[in-house]
Amino acid sequence: MNPKIYLSSPHMGGSEKDFVAEAFESNWIAPLGPHVEAFETDLEDYLGEGSYIAALSSGTAALHLALILLGVKKDDEVICQSMTFSASANPIVYQGATPIFIDSEADTWNICPEHLERAIKDRISKGKKPKAIIAVHLYGMPFKVNEINSISQKYNIPLIEDSAESLGSSYDGQKCGTFGDLAILSFNGNKVITTSGGGALVTKNESQKKKAIFLATQARDDAPYYHHSEIGYNYRLSNVCAGIGRGQMQVLDDHIALRRKMNEFYFELFQDREGVTVFKEPSDRFYSNHWLSCILVDEKRSGYKAEDIRLELERSNIEARPLWKPMHLQPVFKNVPFYGEKISDDLFLKGLCLPSGSNLTQVDRDRIRHALNKFI
Ligand SMILES: *Cc1c(COP(=O)(O)O)cnc(C)c1O
């Protein structure tokens, strides 16, 4: 059997081991140390726009702290894109608040501005103004930043940008992660860069960054003994993991270029195929890191389903996966309000994520092309 080709696997640049060795030699094997701060600086320089970074143990932890910083409490409502990974929505529930899910629009697959505004008006008319909006740049594709930002400003509801999948993507030349009142990044094993596990909160000022780090390190007040006036969390990134992150930052842009090449590879493969479309930027205002390359299969025109392709690839030991199943279709959220039509339902039925890693070789691409032969 050929070795397995994964959707998106870790891709080390080479210097990560040196940074980790440095952590061992200096004995900074802790959730603090010089790599943590240096990794934060690397990310601040990369994002620009006066961003401040708090390095954390996961993207989920970053979202949780974002909600706490915005004062989200029990029985509040928080708007969230329905088509996403569950980690976008779960922290709302950690706070005892209720998610309000919004459908996608067809161009970017992200939160639909019309349904978003309709939902906000409806919640306000019910006496519940939402406390925050969580919008996601899914698969690296920026959401409609102008439209979403102006709704956030018009109703004065803070925007949390879930940039877990979109480090290096941009809109009108400005990096994703710098548009929201707060934003989050993820460095999980399958993301564009990885620290094995990790994440970050992006803030607009130093006091928010400090507050996030305070909450992430058990909310210890300034005293020689342990003194607490707030509930804290153990959410800081470890110095060893941050060392991996510093190495990954050196190759981030190269790896994005390779992911974009994978997207081009699929585009060329399927371009003459009736009924199969490769997910691309709707205009040149959008620049996607193409974290995952995805296709939509219209069975009526193609004669086969996305699932047929998935099974065929599986027979060749190649991983492919349906798109994120929208949150409004998840049993755990079955009683949660949803505003939309069936755009995300339809995307889920027709979509498929294909192997997209920056470490895929020509041999891998030949195997993928060969396995897809009967569809192309
Ligand atoms: C990966 C991911 C997260 C969560 O990040 P973790 O670091 O895995 O906790 C949140 N939102 C989206 C859209 C993601 O893809």
**Chain segment 189-219, per-residue pLDDT in tens:** 999 999 999 999 999 999 999 999 999 999 9
Which stretch of DSSP H or E encloses residue 117?
helix 113-125
Q: How far apart are the first and last CA of the chain?
A: 24
User: What is the per-residue burial (b if ≥16 Cβ within 10 Å, else e) of 162-200?
Assistant: bbbbbbbbbbeeebbbbbbbbbbbbbbebbbbbbebbbb
Q: Give mean pLDDT, residues 257-285.
A: 97
Percent pLDDT > 90 in the chain is 98
Question: Is the per-residue pLDDT at 5 higher than 90?
Answer: yes
Q: Give the pLDDT score at 135.
A: 98
Q: Ligand 1 centre from 63 Cα, in Å?
A: 9
Q: Which class for 206: exposed (0-12), middle (13-18), buried (19 or more C-beta within 10 A)?
A: exposed
Phi/psi at 148 (5° precision) = -70, -40
Percent pLDDT > 70 in the chain is 100
Mean pLDDT of the chain: 97
Q: Which of 186, 187, 323 to mutate to test the pocket of ligand 1 (most atoms within 8 A of CB)?
A: 186
Q: Give the pLDDT score at 1.
A: 83
Which stretch of DSSP H or E encloses residue 98?
strand 98-102
Q: Give the pLDDT score at 376.
A: 83
Q: Which pLDDT tens digit goes with each residue over 152-199? A: 999 999 999 999 999 999 999 999 999 999 999 999 999 999 999 999
User: What is the distance between the alpha carbons of residues 296 and 306, in angstroms, rounded to a whole number?
Assistant: 7
User: What is the distance between the alpha carbons of residues 145 and 234, in angstroms, rounded to a whole number?
Assistant: 32
Q: Ligand 1 centre from 191 Cα, in Å?
A: 9
Q: Which pLDDT tens digit goes with each residue over 6-51? A: 999 999 999 999 999 999 999 999 999 999 999 999 999 999 999 9
Q: What does the block give as tokens for 92?
A: 């709302």
Given the CA of residue 136, which atom of ligand 1 is nearest to it? 13
Q: Give the pLDDT score at 6.
A: 98
Q: Are 166 and 140 in contact (CB under 8 A)?
A: yes
Q: Are 104 and 324 in contact (CB under 8 A)?
A: no
Q: Give the pLDDT score at 328.
A: 98
Task: For the chain, give every residue range classified as CATH 3.40.640.10.
Answer: 16-250
Kindly report the pTM of this predicted structure.
0.97
Task: For the chain, give every residue range classified as CATH 3.90.1150.10.
Answer: 253-375
In degrees, rounded to 5, the angle at the alpha carbon of residue 300 between the alpha carbons of residues 299 and 301 is 90
Q: Which pLDDT tens digit goes with each residue over 229-246? A: 999 999 999 999 999 999
Q: Give the pLDDT score at 374.
A: 84
Phi/psi at 222 (5° precision) = -80, 95
Q: Which of 165, 176, 193, 292 to mutate to test the pocket of ligand 1 (most atoms within 8 A of CB)?
A: 165
Closest C-alpha to ligand 1, atom 2: 164
Query: What band does 97 get if pLDDT is binned at 50, 70 and 90?
Result: very high
Q: What top-level class would CATH report for the domain 16-250? A: alpha beta
Q: Ligand 1 centre from 86 Cα, in Å?
A: 8
Q: Give mean pLDDT, residues 306-318.
A: 98
Given the CA of residue 188, which atom of ligand 1 is nearest to it? 7
Do strands 182-186 and 199-203 pair parallel, antiparallel, or not at all (unpaired)?
A: antiparallel
CATH of 253-375, one of 1.10.3980.10, 3.90.1150.10, 3.40.50.300, 2.60.120.200: 3.90.1150.10
Q: Which residues have CB under 6 Å of ligand 1?
A: 58-60, 84-85, 87-88, 136, 162, 164-165, 186, 188, 199
